[in-house]
Every structure is written in C-alpha cells, then in structure tokens.
Structure 1
Amino acid sequence: MLVGYSSSSEDEEEEEEEDEDGEENGSEAAATQTRRRSSGDFPTKKKIKVEDMSPKTRLPLPGCLLDMFPDEDDPQTEDASLHGGRLRSFKHERGNWATYVYFPYHPEEEFEELLEELLTAAGTRGLVLTPQEEFHLSLSQTVVLRHHWIQPFTQSLRAGLARCRRFVCSAEKLKIYCNAERTRTFLGVEVSTGCAQMLDLVRVVDKTMTEFQLETFYKDPSFHVSLAWCVGDLTEKMKEVLQELQSLVVGREDGPFPLVLDCAEVCCRTGNKTFRFPLEDKT
C-alpha cells in the first residue's frame, strides 16, 4: 500500500484555498490531489542539456593541468629583453629539452670577492659584464633531447660513469670565450690541472651522445668555468682589459687565487630536471 505525504508548502497552499473559497473548494482541491497521487500523475521537471548550461556553471580546469599544456608559441620564451638580451641557440619547441653535462662549482667567499673586483675593474674600462647565475664546468655541448629519451639517456650516462673516479682540478688563468652564434662573449677561467681526467670523462659522455645521434664535445676542448658574460661578440674589447684582470687573480695578498673543483659528482641538466652521478672514491 502506497501512502502519499504532502510537503509543508502543499499544506499551506491547501489551507489558503480553504480560507478563500470555503470548505467546498478545499474538498475539491483535496480530491484532485488524491487522484494525482493514486494515478502517479506528477508534474515532470525539464532536463537541462549540457549545451544549455551557462559557462559559469562549468567547473574550471585546475591550474596544474593548464600548466602541463602551455600554448605552442610562448612569445616570452623568445623575448631577449626578458633574459638580459640573451638569444636562444635553438628555438624553443614543446617536447624538446635543452640538455648538458657538467661539474658544478660551488663558490667560496674569496671567489665571490675576486669576481666582484673583476667586474668592477672591467666596468671602469667601459666593459659591463653580467655575472653567471651559477657556475659549472661543461663536459658536453648543449643538445636537445626529446622527452621520451631522458630516461634511457641518463641510464646510459650512469652506466658509463659508474667506474670513473673522483679527482680535483684547479683553474687560475683567465680566458675569453665566444659562443658559436657570436651572440655572447664570456670571461672564463681555464683549467690547468686535471685535464687528463676531464678528457676521460668526455669520452664517456661522447659515447652516450653518439648512441642518441647527438653532437659530441669539441675536439680540442678548453675546460673552463665561465665567470661573467656580455651580449654580442666583444672579444677584441675584452682582450684589451684581460691582462689587467689577470693581475687581480695572481696579485692578491695571499698569492694567486686558484679556483679548485672537487670533481666528485657529474651532473646532467635537462630542462628543469637535474640528474646526479657520483664518481668512485679513490680510497
């Protein structure tokens, strides 16, 4: 047996009808209501189609998902004014990851003081240099990896470097470098000890590069740590102040300042990811 229960709003409507039309109208309304319940004749609600929904009623995509799929052409990535005037060596494309292998250098306090002196001296001669945001010694050129290559590429590097031993190298001679596109000139300090071990590591890295048909390192590399840079090919202008800057390195009160790297861990930077490969301890 089915029993129908009226809502409070329905009760109120029935009471209002009884007040206005009397008991007879109230009885007719009650009878009509009873017939509807017994026959199942209820008013139907209209379904709302998805296409009729207002955009405001649709849930927005989370920001983390939108960041995963940026616009194909991002003008900011190609705007040199947003990067201190630097220009890309190759156009930024979705799925391409700029990649290079290197030793990191963590500057000590004395190095930072020397670098400030070098920049000041260069500035007095009209040569404005921008210090590097971070310091490293490259063991490869910058190449482009597809995203699905990253895992096998780093696995190959790890396997090749597994038996390489850690060592120490030093650098104290300033040298000028210019990139292949002649868009930037660098002031660097060249490695004087540890070059043989560096070449052994480059051969390991080059083997992985060859596996993925990528460009290998320079034939006659000058291992160095870049200190500062300027836009354009200012090689000749920088040569004019090089001797003066070198005197600041060798003429310090405590003697020449050698930049010393503890080459204990090779790093691979690909996009915003960094992979680390510890080298074997000599002991």
Structure 2
Amino acid sequence: MLVGYSSSSEEEEGETETTQSEGFDQKWQKEDDGSDDLPPKKKIKTDEPASKKRLPLPGCLLTMFPDEMDPQTEDSSLHGGRVRSFKHERGNWATYVYFPYHPEDEFEEFLEELLSTARARGVGLTPQEEFHLSLSQTVVLRHHWIQPFIQSLKESLTHCRRFVCTAGRLKVYSNAERTRTFLGMEVSSGNTQLLDLVHIVDKTMTEFRLETFNEDPSFHVSLAWCVGDQMEKLKRCIQELQTLVERREDGPLLLRLDCSELRCRTGNKTFRFPLET
C-alpha cells in the first residue's frame, strides 16, 4: 500500500543563467581643426556605457529550465485534494516498488457497489486510478541515483521466483500523515513470498539510505481513497462492505495477483523485473 502519496513526474536537473557582456568600445575618430597647415589630428574618444537592457529570451528556452518550484504541483485542488508527503523539487523522484493488479471483468461493477454503499454511510470514496500491491514505502530518489538503484534491485532479484497471491478481506488504512484514508483488500495467501521480496527490496533501500518498509506490513491492494482522516467513519461500515464481498452470486470475491513481474516506478519512469518461472 502506498503510505505516502506521490505521484509525480519530475524533469532532470539543470539550470542555466544567461548574461549579456557589458563594457566599453573604443574607436578612433578623425577631427579637423580647420587649419590648412596642420594634418588632421587623431584622438581617442570613449563612448557612453552600453545600455544594460537585456534582450528577452526565446520562449522555448524559458520552458527548458522550469523554476525550482512549480506552484501548480503544490496545489492540492489540482490533485483531488491530495497533499504531498514530501515537497516537490526538481531532481527529486517519488519512487516505490510494487506488483500491479489487473482487475477482472466483474471487479469494476463490484467496486462501484462498494463506493455506493460507503457513500450512503457518509463516506465519499474515489476509486484508485490503477491498482497495485506495494512492497516499499514511497521514497525520494535523486535523479543521479536512479540507474545504480535500479541496477541494485535487478541484481538482488535475479533468482526470485514468481508466485500467486490472493486478497479477500477489506481493511481500512491511512497514510503516515493522516491526510488520506484508504479502503483496501488485505492479502490472505502469499504473505511469505511477499515478505521475502520486501527483505530484498529493503537491502537496496538501506544501501541508498532510504526508508525501509513497515516492520510488520499488511500487504493489500488499495481500492479507493478519500481526503483526511476518515478511518473511524469508514470502520463503522466496514462489516457491511465486507458482506458485499462474501455474499456474491458466484461466491466470495477474491483478488488474484499473478506476481510474475515486480515493478519500480520513479517519477514518470517504470522499470520491470520479470521473476523466474
């Protein structure tokens, strides 16, 4: 589960400063004093200092190097009210490791039923844009660390084998800052294999002095979220929501994750690590 939001794509570090050289030009100028007997005199004349006005930069150059802080990236109204877990800065890449979950056909209908029931109980939830099972915290990775970080993960995962895990029980979560509340489905099988992978990922995190995963993780797939600390309100209707999971026509609904490819997302880049068969 993603304990601290992030989402973001940042650009590579780079700054430029444009200056215009200023100085004095010297030139020779002939002056005639009006005498027919004397040759024209040569005299050095110094111009006034050149104008200090700078020429405007082309628009294409201005967009190449954005300001250190983009006010829009910090505007929570542009992100559904979500608040960043860490300050957005150029060169800082939000990074996390996860397994993707690809919903089955009936999942969308089931999720809408959950959201409708929660809404009737006073909790307005927004469905996740994509679904995944987190195996790390969301950490800040500097741009020049990306390649060595990915290489370390790749080497550590070389002999890891693929497996299947399932999730079937609803649970309420929140991020560390209590700025968002989540409705998730907790993993019921595959925990041992997931823990083994977390230990491997944690070694890379430690190598780069980044925060490791929760000591006693509750592996889950986040289904929906809302702004603020709504844990108590959501917990009061969690049993009613769980009933929707268990009393379906075709039997209890289980999310099945084919854990065959671990992924790492850093900023707008996604790296894939296929596991052995």
- Residue 88 of structure 2 aligns with which residue? 92
Cα distance in structure 1, aligned partners of 2:192 and 2:185: 17
The TM-score normalised by the length of structure 1 is 0.77
RMSD, aligned α-carbons: 1.8
What's the offset of the Cα at 1:125?
Answer: 1.2
User: How much identity, in percent, do the aligned residues show?
Assistant: 75
Amino acid at match of 1:233: D
What's the offset of the Cα at 1:68?
Answer: 4.0
Cα distance in structure 1, aligned partners of 2:59 and 2:185: 49
Higher Rg of the two aligned structures: 1
Amino acid at match of 1:207: K
- Residue 246 of structure 1 aligns with which residue? 242
3-state DSSP of counterpart to 1:197: helix
As a proportion of its length, which structure holds more helix?
Answer: 1
- Residue 30 of structure 2 aligns with which residue? none
Q: Structure 1 residue 203 and structure 2 residue 183: aligned?
A: no
3-state DSSP of counterpart to 1:276: strand
Q: Structure 1 residue 260 and structure 2 residue 256: aligned?
A: yes
Amino acid at match of 2:178: R
Unaligned runs of 5+ residues in structure 2 are 1-49
Amino acid at match of 1:113: E
The TM-score normalised by the length of structure 2 is 0.79
- Residue 5 of structure 2 aligns with which residue? none
Q: Which has the higher contact order (CA 8 A, sep 6+)?
A: 2
What's the offset of the Cα at 1:224?
Answer: 0.3
Q: Structure 1 residue 185 and structure 2 residue 206: aligned?
A: no
User: Of 161, 165, 176, which residue of structure 1 is paired with 2:161?
Assistant: 165
Amino acid at match of 2:167: A
Q: Structure 1 residue 113 and structure 2 residue 109: aligned?
A: yes
Cα distance in structure 2, aligned partners of 1:68 and 1:276: 29
- Residue 37 of structure 1 aligns with which residue? none
Cα distance in structure 1, aligned partners of 2:138 and 2:64: 24
- Residue 212 of structure 1 aligns with which residue? 208
Change (3 A) 1:54 1:76: closer
What's the offset of the Cα at 1:106?
Answer: 1.0
What's the offset of the Cα at 1:60?
Answer: 2.7
Change (3 A) 1:203 1:125: same
Q: Structure 1 residue 81 and structure 2 residue 49: aligned?
A: no
Aligned length: 228
3-state DSSP of counterpart to 1:109: coil
- Residue 227 of structure 1 aligns with which residue? 223
Deviations 1:29-84 (Å, cap 9, x if unpaired)? Answer: xxxxxxxxxxxxxxxxxxxxx989995xx88353xx54442111211111111111
As a proportion of its length, which structure holds more strand?
Answer: 2
